[in-house]
Amino acid sequence: MIAIAVSGGAFAPYDVVVGRGLMAEAGRRIAALVPQRRTVIVTDETVARLHAPALQASLRAAGIHSAVVAVPAGEASKSFAELERVLDRMLETGLDRRDVVIALGGGVVGDLAGLAAALFMRGIDFVQIPTTLLAQVDSSVGGKTAIDTPRGKNLVGAFHQPRLVLADIDVMATLPERQLRSGWAEVLKHGLICDAPFFDWLAGEGTAGANGDPAALQRAVVRSVEIKSAIVGEDEKEAGKRALLNLGHTFGHAIEAELGFEEAVLAHGEAVALGCAMAFRYSARQGLCDMGKVERVEAAITAAGLPTRLAQAGVFSADALLARMAGDKKAEGGALTLILARGVGQAFVAKGVDAGEVRTFLVEEGASA
Ligand code: GLY
């Protein structure tokens, strides 16, 4: 069991506890945060079946009563309608400002429950119990909460840090293989941003984590959380350094958007992996890093069963991708902000990237001109 302290910002410090068997210990670990001995667990219908009984038993053993509200699994639950339903369940259960909410699930549940906690009675505490690798290494840490609107993803939200995060490595045993590999992309991303020795380990024996090996997974989660929490501690509101966490996301998000955010077609982590490969190839094209480093990055992504080439995701138009990258504004002749790299572990925020150069690169990558 390893506890990583997240601190440094204007927010109250909190621990991310990473280890095995944490679901069974959740009640004991949460007890100090719930003086009124009651809570609401926000989850989705799939995770509710898999993990809610164990969590409720653990809470019960610690003398804590819990009600469960389960939203449908999937991104569509990051909606005003589900937010209202969650808030209404919290009111119906009689929670007040001294109570806490528990987010039990992946990124969708964490974002929705976190926003509900931020809004309920002007803000109450919440605990994250992430049940996907992606949520353990990324979305459960750092306090970004949001829902989507028809105009785009994550457009309505708040920075609201959790009081505690419990990342139980054992829940990974129930994750579909594709989801595990998708989360691995965010793990690789952390090494690529600022930790070359970690990346070397991930690309070597650490690859076992992408295949579900619990010891490798624990090491990968711990180091990822250390990296993310250090960045968030310096720049909670993404005024500068936190943008590094978007490595692979500008290309990846444009590709996902063109595919209609269909997880079945391209999972988020798959888009991030592809986006990281593209960011490194673009960096090499601009003479920022050498091709040998790009090949190492591509090999590690491929070894984890993740895509590195645009053609693996579908057929795209360069102009359509560019428009997405520029936030649907006219980008031709304009400038973009990208996360680029001078090598493995040496990512940086590049402002004023020429949109015309990016368009040429997208055509070279196989997008139609
Ligand atoms: N997922 C990127 C961030 O939390 O800033």
CATH number, domain containing residue 139: 3.40.50.1970
**Closest alpha carbon to 114 in 83, 145, 87:** 145
369 located within any domain: no
* Overall size of the chain counted in residues: 369
**Closest alpha carbon to 106 in 81, 79, 78:** 78
Residue with tokens 């990346």: 199
CA end-to-end distance (rounded Å), the chain: 52
Give just the sign of the alpha carbon dihedral 88, 94, 100, 101: negative
Judgement on whether residues 140 and 262 belong to the same structural domain of the protein: no
Judgement on whether residues 196 and 154 belong to the same structural domain of the protein: no
Pocket of ligand 1 (CB under 6 A): 138, 142, 144, 242, 245
Whole-angstrom distance, CA of residue 177 vs CA of residue 173: 9
Amino acid occupying residue 278 = M
93 located within any domain: yes
Judgement on whether residues 170 and 186 belong to the same structural domain of the protein: no
Judgement on whether residues 326 and 188 belong to the same structural domain of the protein: yes
Domain range spanning residue 252? 177-364
128 located within any domain: yes
- DSSP-derived secondary structure letter, 135: I
Atom of ligand 1 at shortest distance to CA of 231?
A: 5
In tens digits, the chain (369 residues) has pLDDT values of 999 999 997 899 999 999 999 999 999 999 999 999 999 999 999 999 999 999 999 999 999 999 999 999 999 999 999 999 999 999 999 999 999 999 999 999 999 999 999 999 999 999 999 999 999 999 999 999 999 999 889 999 999 999 999 999 999 999 999 999 999 999 999 999 999 999 999 999 999 999 999 999 999 999 999 999 999 999 999 999 999 999 999 999 999 999 998 888 999 999 999 999 999 999 999 999 999 999 999 999 999 999 999 999 999 999 999 999 987 444 445 789 999 999 999 999 999 999 999 999 999 999 999
Atom of ligand 1 at shortest distance to CA of 142?
A: 4
Judgement on whether residues 158 and 286 belong to the same structural domain of the protein: no
Token pair, residue 351, equals 């402002």
Q: What is the pTM of this model?
A: 0.95
66 located within any domain: yes
Instruction: Name the residues annotated as catalytic.
Output: 122, 144, 186, 228, 238, 242, 246, 249, 253, 268
User: Strands 2-6, 14-19: parallel, antiparallel or unpaired by DSSP?
Assistant: antiparallel
Cα–ligand 1 centroid distance for 249 (angstroms): 10
